[in-house]
């Protein structure tokens, strides 16, 4: 299997343009240097303000700089690893479950599904909209979170739902 690729310096505006940054939906900025990540994030955000940018920060102070530069999300590998290690120490079965659902060969998955205004499922209760999938969380368009939503809760335009189920149960929701 081959995938398109481009060899070049990501801190170069010309390289980012050749990579299609002006129409891209997302960018993962994960070079080793926090300063370079800030610079790349700043350039990418200036070329495409609606771009979802996930940037890596080694230093805590860099996280704020990356956010100011235009990063949508900032990930610290050290903080993430520390949290995972702590969770493994106190809740190893939760980690096992999450790893199981992420594995490509798993019979179940956790997915994120967005409902646009033209979705045929808008206005329907979750019990109808989700079919055999289990809704875990709804993020409303205004950002409000509804964990463990009631099956009678109506799907609203702009909702993003986190659901759990086998691929067959998820397919009709994803295809909407």
Predicted structure pTM score: 0.74
Residue of 173, 174, 139, 172 whose CA lies nearest to 158: 139
Can you identify the CATH homologous superfamily of domain 13-79? NAD(P)-binding Rossmann-like Domain (3.40.50.720)
pLDDT tens-digit series, residues 33-55: 999 999 999 999 999 999 999 99
- In the chain, domain spans: 13-79, 105-175
Q: Above 60 in pLDDT, residue 29?
A: yes
pLDDT value, residue 169: 67
Percent of the chain with pLDDT over 70: 92
Q: What's the CATH architecture for 105-175?
A: 2-Layer Sandwich (3.30)
């Amino acid at each position: 299997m081959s995938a398109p690729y481009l060899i070049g310096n990501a801190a170069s505006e010309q390289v980012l343009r050749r990579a299609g940054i002006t129409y891209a939906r997302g960018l993962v900025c994960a070079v080793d240097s926090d300063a370079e990540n800030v610079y790349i994030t700043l350039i990418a955000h200036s070329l495409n303000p609606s771009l979802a940018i996930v940037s890596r920060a080694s230093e805590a102070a860099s996280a704020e700089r990356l956010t100011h530069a235009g990063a949508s999300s900032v990930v610290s590998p050290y903080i993430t690893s520390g949290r995972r290690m702590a969770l493994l120490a106190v809740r190893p079965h939760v980690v096992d479950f999450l790893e199981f659902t992420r594995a490509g060969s798993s019979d179940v998955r956790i997915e994120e599904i967005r409902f646009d205004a033209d979705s045929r499922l808008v206005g329907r209760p979750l019990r109808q909209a989700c079919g055999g999938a289990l809704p875990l969380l709804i993020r409303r368009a205004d950002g409000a979170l509804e964990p463990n939503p009631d099956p009678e809760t109506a799907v609203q335009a702009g909702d993003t739902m986190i659901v759990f189920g086998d691929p067959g149960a998820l397919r009709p929701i994803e295809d909407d």
